[in-house]
């Protein structure tokens, strides 16, 4: 028998968000399968948890919180 894994799809895609400089912004997306590993990227750079970035995942919802937003974070 050959089993093919169901592909993971976006149920809710990432939306643009606006924030004032110095504040924080929360980006969220929803996947079709809970617990799917998510990699957040800015261009070719992978973002990792730090004082600047907080990465959360609850079931099918993945969140990226960017603290102290600057224009270079666009």
* Domain coverage including residue 68: 24-73
| Tokens 């089993």, residue located | 3
Q: What is the pLDDT of residue 13?
A: 87
Q: What is the pLDDT of residue 5?
A: 75
Q: What is the pLDDT of residue 3?
A: 67
* Number of independent structural domains in the chain: 1
The series of mean pLDDT values per 10 residues for the chain, 74 residues long, is 78 89 95 92 95 96 96 90
Tokens (6 digits) for 19:
């924030």
Q: What is the pLDDT of residue 1?
A: 63
For residue 12, CA distances in Å to 7, 20, 39 come to 15, 24, 16
Alpha carbon distance 27, 11 (integer Å): 15
Question: Does a structural domain hold residue 2?
Answer: no
Q: What is the pLDDT of residue 65?
A: 97
Question: Does a structural domain hold residue 57?
Answer: yes
pTM (two decimals): 0.84
């Amino acid at each position: 028998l050959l089993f093919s894994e169901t592909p993971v799809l976006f149920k809710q895609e990432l939306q643009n968000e606006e924030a004032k400089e110095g504040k924080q912004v929360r980006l969220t997306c929803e996947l079709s399968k809970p617990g799917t590993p998510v990699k957040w990227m800015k261009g070719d750079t992978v973002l990792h948890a730090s004082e600047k970035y907080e990465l959360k995942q609850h079931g099918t919802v993945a969140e990226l919180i960017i603290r102290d937003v600057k224009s270079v974070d666009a």
